[in-house]
Structure 1
Amino acid sequence: MNNYGVVPAMCLALFSWAFACPVFTEFYPDPKDVSDQEGEYVEIRMDDFRAESLYVQFESKSVMAFVWPEAERFVLVHDSAQCLAREAAQDAPQAGVACGSLGKISLPNSRESVWKLWAGSCMDSVTVMQPKPGKVIQRVGLTDNWEFVEASKAVLESQEASDSLLEGVMAGLSPLRVTEVHHCPEEPMPEWVELYNSSEYPLPLEVFRFCDRGGALGKAGDSIQPYQAVLVSKDTSTLRAALNIPDIRMIQVSLGFLNNTEGTLRLCFRDETIDSVYWNKGTVSCPSGFNPLTMRREFTPGYLPKNVRNVSLAAKVPVEYKLSSRVVSKKGAPLRVIVESEYNVALSLLDSAGRRVWKTIVSAMSNEWVKVPAQEYLGIGAAFVSLSVGEYEDVVGILVRP
């Protein structure tokens, strides 16, 4: 143990600096002016090293795996809106920063903690000293010494940039829209409303609510992901049992009662109305629900057709692709797919039953043909190729012949 209370990094990490390996540089376990979920972060310096993946582990918890971030620094946070702010604030000190999610991991604020990272032949391991409230634990240069410093200006600027950027996202036609209303469902199903984020950005649920109905849609750190649909109800347990679709995300909010014969529902961003829905007896007969975009009867919880997904000005299809062929021979040329996207794309093979049998990540802006091992992983008959970004997914059928 040295004077700073951090066990020296493993020998491999000591030599790694000569090769610009990734290393831990900052930990912020105990923010003072905001909640832990809003303020906690772990920062990693990336430099010029390159690998396919980066792995991070906190003590004995599950290993966190990330597609290689193309940035000078990689910051692990809870609130994905902060990632958006850091990427967008090009004039701020945090330019060149990529973000990843800490998931459910909470940084200890009353004891030491052990962290490891590795990528390719590089490895770094540190024991972080017991935190002090409001202090950042920062690496001293390229040494194994650490010190307490005041919460950096970059942290405060990131929070301010998050608010500023979110205001910009909401300035046009709202990317968060009401896409289905069930004001008089068949009993015992409770009333529910479907919301859809049609943008490529995660949106923090704490700043959205149904105007004059209950509180925020979520607490600090909760987000609705890009191209994700969520169901809002005052009784999510009964709704989940009635729908029997386990994969749908649900949010419990005190909505009050929705009038069966005539009513209005308004969605607010802070105190501003961003979407409004009106219905009466002529809209749809009970028991049923309707789509506010078409004003027609609808019952498709958690699913939106493509023509409904892009309901905002900010929306766009996040990935374009082309297959070399939709018919593959077991002994013929391999299937290839060219993917064009600003984002990392999950490319998968699905068998005839829709089960994933192979998956890879296509890096953003790669614009190259990717070999897909259909012959090795699929049997004779119909199958599928899936491309997904966040909650957005496009699936195309293929045929495997002898």
Structure 2
Amino acid sequence: MKLLLLAALAAWEACPYFSEILPDPQEVEDARGEFAEIRLPEKFRRGTLSVVNEQKKVWSGIVSDTVKRILLIRDTSLCPLLKGLLCRPLTGTALPNSREAMWTLSSPSCADTAKLPIPKAGESFVRSGEAFDAWEWEKPSPGIPNGIFEKGIVDCHLNIDTLIYAENGWRGEWTLSGCDSAEIDAKFSGITAFAEKEWRGTLFRGVRSPFFTYLTADAFHLTVKLPEDDVPGNDFVDSLFAKPGAFPVRFTEVHPCPEEGMPEWIEIYNPALREVSLAQMSLCKDKTQFPSAVSIQKHESIVLAKDTAAMRLYVGNSEVKILPVNFGYLKNAADSLYLCYGKEKVDSVFWGKLTQIQPKCPAGFAVASGRSEDSPGFQTPGSLARDTALPFQVEWNARVFSRKKSANPLMVRIRSELSVTVELISGKGDLLWKKELPAEASGNAWTEIPLLQKGFPGANFLRFSAGSHEKRVGVVLRP
């Protein structure tokens, strides 16, 4: 039995074979995404190959010595640009989605047959088994070797085993896998301080190697360049690390119960001195991953909303960055949010009777202070630090106004033992109008705010301040 197995493996090493087949793609339509992938071993005597599906030829061609893999795909614009990959159109009728299928591959000296079971929507058949005679369902990877199942694949991986903050820097251990050895270049870049350190050295497979960098930043960005191998796309490590409580991105504002017709939204903020990629960030739930191609710049705020069009209409300008994140529905009375980097929770916010934050609907709240706030896309001086109770009380007659209804201006009244400064601020943060109102203990006097004359269409803000205390209220001006 062992001799038969060795003979079978030797045959695979000398002949081309089907390595992956996708009959029923989900991210694109079948007419574009169906594909069959063939691996060509080094010892194969090159020549003409023929591929047959359901007794009909779907491709035939001469293969040169430089080709290591063939990808037959409906839409060749989806082919990755990889060295050694030959990409050609997959012809013939649509692949069956609800029954078994038979594929054959032949050359003057070799042949391969793949009898596939009924497909699963969106998953590829990947060849597996000790003798390469079985099939597994896996996430599609057209044209890219699958190092888990295919033999002889060189795919270097760097695993961070331990990492701790020492007295004068960061100390850890890492291990190389997937290749015998690799020379790596690592760069440690401080997030909260402009400092960079480099590490260069050779790592060997399976050897847990220590490293140390004299970087005292609370959070840092690690990038590591690995040598090119058979599996491109993962030759670069790009990760964030931070001491507990020092992760640079955090929640700053939550609106669980806005006015009717307005979308729920969440605000995150990066107080650090460097930009941070959102590629590995989420709200710690399935389907709440942030858009991977987006970064949050230093001192930038980003609004997360399910309905970005409605949120843009509410904000009223294009300066505020708004990202689509499907976080479901937030509970008004009590709920919680978590911010994750990968699988690690890096920030959280709770509200309800058992916490210090109880939203005063329809207003949102600043996470740091728990007080009411409505400033999507930018931070107020009081939104980043916890404040004591305000020494004044504010009322306003409405939150939405229209220039067509000039008889209904924005009015406010303040009850305070101190004088209070009132400012009208545009959605971009520009000061439009300012006035200091005298102390008024009774709070009976109403003051008109020139929103209709000086405000911009969309979101505007009122800022009330007395000493170090302030309150900000959002109002909407319609044309």
Short-chain TM bin:
0.3 to 0.5
Q: TM-score, normalised by structure 2?
A: 0.32
Q: Which has the higher strand share?
A: 2
Q: TM-score, normalised by structure 1?
A: 0.38
Identify which of structures 1 and 2 has the higher relative contact order when contacts are C-alpha pairs closer than 8 Å and 6+ apart: 1
- Structure number with larger C-alpha Rg: 2
Q: Which has the higher helix share?
A: 1
